[in-house]
Structure 1
Amino acid sequence: MSTLANHTTAGGQDWGAFGVTVSFGATTALDRVTLPAVPGSVAAVVGGDGAGKTTLLRTLVNRVRPAAGHVTAPPPTECGFMPTGASGVWQDLTVAENIAFVAAAHHLTGTDLDQRRGELLTAAGLDRATDRLAGALSGGMRQKLAFCLAILHRPRLLVLDEPSTGVDPVSRVDLWRLISRAAADGAAVVMATTYLDEAERASTCLVLDQGRTLTSGTPADVLAGAPGILTTGTAPTGPAELSWRRGRATRSWHPGPARPDEHPVPADMEDTVIALTLAARQES
């Protein structure tokens, strides 16, 4: 039986998803997945398309009810959620009108609202775009506006679904600074990301594939658990399905042990996630 609750331990807030299973008809979207959300830290969720990242985040904010396991979170008024893409803003409203609309929903007024609006828009580089329609903003500016709306009310749990996907490199750096600041201010931040360099900056990382946990822990723990043997060269050294391009080079992977003529190379986060996925699919 699933449960959803607001839970506080003696040592503070113990939030997150614990042993959560979610099914849509005959499809199991999440299979006994656990993801703690710790105040003051960033937890990254990574995995390919269909891994279950969005389902897990929506479960955390009570938009999907699990069939098993439990979710603990602050009250909904103390949670912030940024969906993927441009759906986090109202495109036919201006930047200022978007802020005003969300502020009214959270009963933010007066000096508190003025101060919060000013600090967020300045940090996001939107302070000179307040009269522009959200739909007329660049992709990066629109994503930063969506982030500002999600965090306007200073949520204790902030859930972000691929906040920097499709965003230009400069805006992606700006977004990461905003995310880091939210965690430094005490929020428990959970974010799905397709950029594995962002996962390396997080406090913890959960790797999903087809709804199952491949590994979790600190980025160092994840990297240390890279399975098998990884080599690099100008062409695949094994089956094409076990090789991938990295810039001008080709990575090749196999379960191991190393062959006499092989010279394994260390795996970064991208290589590790691919290797974990390949290893899991070979076992299934």
Structure 2
Amino acid sequence: MSASIRSATVRFGDTVALADVTVDIPDGRIVAVVGGDGAGKSTMLRALAREVALDSGILRSPSKSDIGYLPAGPGSWAALTVRENLDFVAGIYGLSGPELTERREAMIERAGLAIAADRVAAALSGGMRRKLAAAMAMIHRPTLLILDEPSTGVDPVSRIDLWRMISETAADGAAVIMSTTYLDEAERAAHLVILDDGHILTQGSFDDVRDGFDGTVTHGPDPVRAEWSWRRGRERHEYWPPGSQPDQNVQAIGAPDLEDIVIALSLRRQLTTGADR
């Protein structure tokens, strides 16, 4: 096991960013973390990257030299070319000479950046720049790869390239944890963690999360209880927790998708515990 956090709590003043969170990141697997704004995703990743100290709990994580960390944002130096960005980061990790050249060119090829290798990062498209940042996090072959929303705002083709790079890194044996706003990516991960306001709502494989979801989600043109509902396209979806009886004027959804599950579990926590958002 390359990394884990056990009963981890992180506070920023009076705000609890993580509350008794336990997650394992096994070697060779991808763990996806999802949740709304303020859920605690970035805080958990920064704790694993040793950028944020735990107030309580246990952190098991490699030394910084064995971690690849891609924070939210561009993740590269705008005035440097693709090759210069990779050379600079590789040098920090002690790579030089033929080994550096070999890894740099391999990462450029994997990221589909060969046509832009001598272009400054500021001149890259958003998708290209994010792929460069991912390549910079991977170039030293870390045992733990941490990616904070690597594909947010990236075009569909670049998303495919990024996912391939991430999957190949896991296949090579690295433990990978990533936050994502794209639930189709989360469904492909080996392990899924759903966070809300610093608390884990559920975790496991996508099948585990789906099979363990209780209650009923219905759909219809108008909500019966507005506080338990949300818009999906032209309809309103509504969550009925275990023990509640769906209204006869709405129709149950046979198998809620991950988006419905995430929203329903978040609503249940907020409305049953009085949690603030």
TM range (shorter): over 0.9
Name the count of aligned residue pairs: 270
Aligned positions of 1:1-284 closer than 5 A: 13-86=1-74, 88-233=75-220, 235-255=221-241, 256-265=244-253, 266-284=255-273
* Residue range with higher mean Cα deviation, 104-113 or 270-279: 104-113
How big is each residue's C-alpha offset from its partner over 1:183-231, in whole Å with a ceiling of 9 and x where there is no partner? 0010100001111111100010111111111111111111122232211
Q: CA deviation at 1:236?
A: 2.5
Give deviations 1:142-183, integer Å, cap 9, x for gaps: 100000000000000000000011111111111111111110
Specify whether residues 227 and 277 from structure 1 end up closer, same or farther in structure 2 by C-alpha distance, changes over 3 A only: farther
What secondary structure does 1:275 align onto? helix
* TM-superposed deviation, 1:43: 0.4
Question: Structure 1, unaligned stretches of length 5 or more?
Answer: 1-12
Per-residue deviation, 1:71: 0.6
Give the Cα separation in 2 of the matches to 1:188 and 1:101: 24
Percent identity between the aligned chains? Answer: 50
Contact 1:227/1:275 (8 A) holds in 2: no
Amino acid at match of 1:277: S
Structure 1 Cα separation of the partners of residues 213 and 263 of structure 2 = 9
- Which residue type is aligned with residue 271 of structure 1? D
Bigger CA drift: 263-272 or 40-49?
263-272
Shift of 1:250: 2.9
SS of aligned partner of 1:252: strand
Partner deviation per Cα, 1:34-81 (whole Å, 9 max, x = no partner)? 111111000011110000000000000111000110111112101110
CA contact (8 A) 1:165 1:193 kept: yes
- Preserved contact between residue 227 and residue 276 of structure 1 (Cα < 8 Å): no
* Alpha-carbon RMSD: 1.4
Stretches of structure 2 lacking an aligned partner (at least 5 in a row): none
Mapped contact 1:226–1:275 kept (Cα < 8 A):
no
